[in-house]
Chains A and B, each alone.
Chain A
Amino acid sequence: MNKESKIDLLLFLLPPLVVLSIFVIYPIIGTVVLSFISKGTFSLSNYYEVLTESIPLKALILTKLEPTPPWGALIHNAVWILISVPAVVLLGMILAYVLRYVFGSSFVLGTVFLGMVLPGVVSGLVIRFMFDDSIGIFPRIFAVLGVPMLSKTWTIYPQTALLALILGSIWLWLGFSVTLYSAGLDSIPSSMIESALVDGASQWQIFAKIIVPQLRPVTTVVILMTVMWVLKIFDIVYVVTGGGPGGSSTVLAMIMYMYFASSLEYHKAAAVAVILALLTLIPAYWYIRIVLKGERE
């Protein structure tokens, strides 16, 4: 590479580096530095205090575990991941596969995808209505089935508030999953399925032995993106329950907001932000690895 080319490259590299430094690197470093400052000195006390906080609306982990929430934001996020990831993967894959053979599938796909395009605040309101005892579909169904506990407004009871949010979020994120799986299904060569049919394979065998393995890269992406999305979730929690009742539906981002906007404790808010960022980095790292691997191939 000659000298002129190097200068050209440097000129191209410099503007994005400057922009990244100002708007990404500086705030990140600023937040990390802020999280370690307590009473004017560098220490770990902000981390210690946010991790040991026991007030339900600010607790990351509640030591007194009971069968129903509140359990603390970290555990709520973990439960959320445990329920929503399998649901988003399974429902997304099945819906994408089944809808290929159903008349009017584009309308159903459009409805499912609606959750993805709605602003978080609007989605939150829709979730509120979905679980309201007078107009919500879920309480109505359980009223017909004769389950009194689930025929009430889910979002105001500590036993059901978190579950209502999780189910609502599954609807919101399903559009993303179905879209990715639909694209994945399109990429499977039809000759594979035709050969299997000629060999006498049933629809279930085709789905289990061909479709599912072929969709593995898509499944990995769906899992990682869902985990990252759940870790960062805030807007629907803020709108639907505000983390309550009794702190039974708090999440990490909500705790960060509480420290930042309610108690005006910016150093502790920064500490929670760093914890949240570190947790999000784990799936993000795997995601980037997969993307880079795909590019190399």
Chain B
Amino acid sequence: MSQTQNKLVIFAVVLALLALVLSLYSVITLQSLASRITDLSNSVAGLKSDIQALSQQIGKAVPTQPAPQQKVKLVVIGPWSGDEAKYFQAVIEAYQRTHPNVEIEYRTMRAEDVAATMPIQFAAGVAPGDVIFGWGWFIAKMGKEGHLVDLTSIIKQDEYVSGILDAVKADGKVWGAPFTMWLKPGFWYRKSFFQKYGLSEPKSYDEFVQLLEKIKSIQGVKNPIASGDGMGWPLSDIVEHFIIAYGGPQMQLNLISGKTRFTDPSVRRVFENYLVPLLQKKYFSEPIEWTTVIPKWWAGEYGLYFMGTWITGMVEDPNDLDFFPLPESKGVVGGADYAFVPKYSKNVDAAVDFLKFLATEGQGVHASVPSGKIPTWTKVPVSQLWKPMQSVYTKITQRGMAILPDLDDSIGGDWQKLFWDQLKLLWVNPGALDSVLKTLESAQPKP
């Protein structure tokens, strides 16, 4: 190597070291600057909310801006795709009929991905959409951190199903607007299948087991109950139904709040006496991707399928569909899809106006198409619901079942993923009950 080359190498190394030192300095400076900006924006947000609270106190609620007259484009992000997106599109079209100046682009993004990607974007002061659907716990968290538009003055809380707004409240404010609601009422079956084999809905747990035994003996049936898989939530829905039926609605609420632990003997009894015996006898199938199992169940490979009310919009003939909850159940899990407006939207006023529509009249539109949903806004008459959903709704209300929050959706975070994963383990290895409950308890939030 010549002397000049040596010098050049030394020069390049010095330059690289200089770049490293500069980068380190800029990292530290930027981080301290970012934290100062966050503090400042939090103070501003605090001041704004104080002004809003003061205005409300003196009886002058902050007026919502009317939708702008000029052309506006909104980006709406929601979890639906395929047919489900088509049903949501009906709501968008209904809004656009009265607001022709608002162009709406719908993009699909799962709630998991919203929760995973948005916090970073919000921290950078940007938002990929103007109206975004997400989990209740996530909305409350983001609202608390000052990233969302406060909807307290937009949502009239007494016009909604009781308790439905709890999930999106934080610091006494409403950060998300409830859209339509799904229910997870029980085991769905084909009426024609039950008629063909002389089967009837059970009236006790023993009758339920007898029914499963009868279905098992039918030629061509692989398992009496199909177990949905995918991310893991279909299994958690089944477990929650057993908890509500044999532990009571209060156990579900106490597990959410953390007052009752998963290792509590009363919780263990529900698993040990009711669910695990059914798993051991192979009444449940192995977990199968939840949408691919629908045609198999419909073709008679499985007799029952535990799913939410959206199943009504996913089968060939919803009139051939019926359901029964576990006979002892006095509650049913229900939950809404929630939407929010990020503070960083470029069209906050138009976004809030559309959100208001979603939370009110838009629900009527969504419930009138085969979405399998019912409104959370109590002003929508039952007669406006899609016909098959009217009978589902009537059956639930006749039984006087309480609507309870979803256990894993309410707790959220990585506990939710742990819950799903541990249940997958339990499904294929019911003998692991103690370890599953212990693992769930160890990560369960404290009250």
User: A residues touching B (Cβ–Cβ < 8 Å)?
Assistant: 1, 6, 9, 13, 17, 20-21, 25-26, 29-30, 33, 54-58, 133, 152-153, 156-158, 242-248, 258, 260-264
Contact = CB atoms under 8 A, between A and B. Distances in A.
B23 A21 contact: yes
B12 A29 contact: no
A29 B425 contact: no
A25 B23 contact: yes
B421 A26 contact: no
B206 interface: no
Contacts of B428: 156-158, 245
A9 B5 CA distance: 12
Contacts of A26: 23, 26-27
17 contacts: A6-B8, A13-B15, A21-B23, A29-B27, A55-B414, A55-B439, A156-B229, A157-B429, A246-B421, A246-B439, A247-B421, A248-B425, A261-B117, A262-B115, A262-B417, A263-B413, A264-B413
Given A33-B28, A158-B429, A55 B418 contact: yes
Contact of A246 (B7, B19, B117, B422): B422
Contacts of A261: 115-117
B22 A246 contact: no
Given A17-B19, A246-B421, 7 more contacts: A25-B20, A33-B24, A33-B27, A261-B116, A262-B115, A263-B413, A264-B119
B199 interface: no
Contacts of B443: 55
A153 B286 contact: yes
A114 B436 CA distance: 39
Contacts of B442: 54-55
Given A30-B27, A33-B28, A245-B424, A262 B414 contact: yes
A13 B12 contact: yes
A57 B231 contact: no
Nearest to B417: A262
Interface of B: 4, 7-8, 12, 15-16, 19-20, 22-24, 26-28, 31, 115-117, 119, 229, 231-232, 286-287, 413-414, 417-418, 420-422, 424-425, 427-429, 432, 436, 439, 442-443
Contacts of B286: 133, 152-153, 156
Contacts of B429: 157-158, 246
B23 A244 contact: no
Contacts of A156: 229, 286-287, 424, 427-428
Contacts of A242: 231-232, 417, 421
A28 B287 CA distance: 41
B27 A56 contact: no
Given A55-B443, A264-B119, A17 B4 contact: no
Nearest to B119: A264
B414 A21 contact: no
B69 to A, nearest CB: 40
Nearest to A2: B4
B397 to A, nearest CB: 37
A242 B229 CA distance: 12
A29 B19 CA distance: 11
Nearest to B24: A29
B353 to A, nearest CB: 31
Contacts of B119: 264
B425 A246 contact: yes
Given A1-B4, A246-B432, A17 B16 contact: yes
A262 B413 contact: yes
Nearest to B30: A30
A235 to B, nearest CB: 15
B26 to A, nearest CB: 7
B417 A258 contact: yes
A26 B27 CA distance: 7
A58 B413 CA distance: 13
B406 to A, nearest CB: 17
Contact of A158 (B7, B12, B22, B425): B425
B247 to A, nearest CB: 23
Given A9-B8, A156-B229, A29 B424 contact: no
B301 to A, nearest CB: 10
B226 to A, nearest CB: 13
B19 A244 contact: no
Nearest to B4: A1
B28 A57 contact: no
B239 to A, nearest CB: 15
B425 A245 contact: yes
Contacts of B24: 29, 33
Nearest to A18: B19
Contacts of A133: 286
Nearest to A28: B23
A56 B429 CA distance: 16
B419 to A, nearest CB: 10
A246 B424 contact: yes
A131 B192 CA distance: 34
Nearest to B22: A21
Contact of B421 (A17, A157, A243): A243
A158 B436 CA distance: 13
Nearest to A33: B27
Given A1-B8, A26-B26, A56 B421 contact: yes
Closest 4 CB pairs of A and B: A261-B116, A246-B425, A245-B424, A244-B421
Contacts of A6: 8
A130 to B, nearest CB: 15
A242 B286 CA distance: 17
Contacts of A258: 414, 417
A263 B4 CA distance: 53
Nearest to B227: A156
A158 B435 CA distance: 14
Contacts of B20: 25, 29
B81 to A, nearest CB: 16
Nearest to A30: B27
